[in-house]
């Protein structure tokens, strides 16, 4: 597995851990990652948390825990479904020109593409999608719209 794919896979695991568990320190996150086969340093975990825009926040019980950045915008049911599928399956989002390339685990691309197609009318700039087994191509309306659309999809994934 390439370094980029390992990083994307690890960050997907971190996202899931932060949603499912109360993790109060980077050390707890390191241990949880090790249990899932990811041997990394505290520095790497710190960079991953920054890339995911995770921060410590006080929970209802008064303890501090890591949480993902949330979007202040209320999402429609279609956006919530897209966000859920992206959080579950998307490993990497890249762009070039008017294309966005989304990588997923094998067999998951279609599920994410269907959710993208259902919300495309609400996401300005998306012309259409083509899904394979583990890759989705998203065509944008603007000649150089790929980067902006990729950023918007990453923002939705963090919601």
Q: State the pLDDT at residue 154.
A: 86
More confident residue, 39 or 51: 39
- Burial category of 135 from C-beta neighbours within 10 Å (exposed 0-12, middle 13-18, buried 19 and up): middle
Residues spanned by the domain of 105: 77-158
More confident residue, 27 or 77: 27
Q: State the pLDDT at residue 1.
A: 57
Query: Does 112 lie in the same domain as 86?
Result: yes
**Lowest-confidence range among 62-71, 116-125, 137-146?**
62-71
Q: State the pLDDT at residue 66.
A: 86
Q: What is the CATH number of the domain that holds 149?
A: 3.30.1360.40
Q: How far apart are CA 14 and CA 31, in angstroms?
A: 11
Query: Does 87 lie in the same domain as 63?
Result: no
Q: State the pLDDT at residue 29.
A: 93
Q: State the pLDDT at residue 43.
A: 92
Name which of 89, 67, 76, 55 is nearest 157 in CA terms.
Answer: 89
Query: Does 92 lie in the same domain as 64?
Result: no
Query: Does 86 lie in the same domain as 57?
Result: no
Query: Does 120 lie in the same domain as 97?
Result: yes
pLDDT digit string (tens) for 7-21? 877 888 888 888 778
For residue 87, is pLDDT > 80? yes
Q: State the pLDDT at residue 72.
A: 41
Q: What are phi and psi of 121, to 5 degrees?
A: -65, -30
How many domains does the structure of the chain reveal?
2
């Amino acid at each position: 597995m390439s370094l980029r794919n390992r990083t994307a896979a690890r960050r997907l695991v971190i996202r899931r851990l932060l949603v499912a568990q109360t993790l109060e320190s980077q050390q707890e996150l390191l241990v949880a990652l090790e249990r899932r086969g990811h041997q990394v340093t505290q520095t790497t975990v710190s960079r991953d948390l920054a890339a995911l825009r995770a921060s410590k926040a006080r929970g209802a019980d008064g303890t501090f825990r890591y949480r993902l950045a949330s979007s202040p915008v209320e999402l429609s049911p279609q956006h919530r479904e897209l966000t859920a599928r992206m959080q579950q399956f998307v490993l990497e989002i890249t762009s070039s020109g008017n294309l966005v390339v989304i990588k997923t685990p094998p067999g998951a691309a279609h599920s994410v593409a269907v959710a993208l197609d259902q919300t495309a009318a609400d996401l300005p700039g998306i012309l259409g999608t083509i899904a394979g087994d583990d890759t989705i191509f998203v065509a944008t309306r603007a000649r150089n719209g790929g980067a902006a659309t990729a950023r918007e999809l990453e923002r939705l994934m963090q919601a």
